[in-house]
């Protein structure tokens, strides 16, 4: 767990993890960062919906976890349609701008794999 009051100078890769079904992609991303010998750690923003089991796996891999709360869009009287529920987590990605532990944060998604060129 990261203490958000502690200033850790440097840079970090940041991603969001909200459910176990995305854990495998997060682990592949972490592995690719290690494989290219990234100088910067991977920090996972974890929402309350992420089970403890997933957090333990991240910890065993040396991945830093920062607990965050969801950001819900302003209430407009409309609910997300069933087919738009996949966008529910999108607002929460804005939490990366609250991260003060690092001088620079690079937002990265699970579908990205790092390779040397």
What total of structural domains would you count in the chain? 1
The CATH code of the domain that includes 94 is 3.40.50
5-61 pLDDT, tens per residue?
444 558 999 999 999 999 999 999 999 899 988 889 999 999 999 999 999 999 999
Tokens representing residue 19 in the block: 């459910």
114, part of any domain:
no
Strand residues in the chain grouped as ranges (E): 11-17, 42-46, 64-67, 104-107
Q: Which domain holds residue 96?
A: 11-75+83-107
What is d(CA 106, CA 25) in angstroms, rounded to the nearest whole number? 17
6, part of any domain:
no
For 61-76, letters b (16+ CB in 10 Å) and e give: eebbbbebeeeeeeee
The residues with which 23 forms a beta bridge, in sequence order, are none
Q: Is the pLDDT of residue 74 over 50?
A: yes
Whole-model pTM: value is: 0.78
18, part of any domain:
yes
87-115 pLDDT, tens per residue?
777 778 878 778 888 888 888 876 666 66
């Amino acid at each position: 767990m990261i203490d958000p009051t502690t200033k850790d100078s440097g840079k970090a890769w940041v991603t969001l993890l909200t459910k176990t079904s995305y854990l495998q992609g997060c682990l592949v991303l972490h592995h690719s960062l290690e494989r290219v010998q990234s100088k910067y750690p991977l920090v996972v923003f974890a929402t309350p919906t992420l089970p403890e089991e997933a957090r333990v796996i991240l910890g065993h891999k040396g991945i830093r976890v920062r607990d965050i709360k969801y950001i819900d869009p302003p209430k407009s009287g409309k609910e997300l349609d069933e087919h738009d529920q996949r966008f529910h987590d999108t607002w929460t990605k804005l939490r990366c701008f609250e991260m003060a532990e690092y001088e620079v944060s690079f937002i990265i998604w699970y579908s990205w794999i790092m390779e040397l060129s």
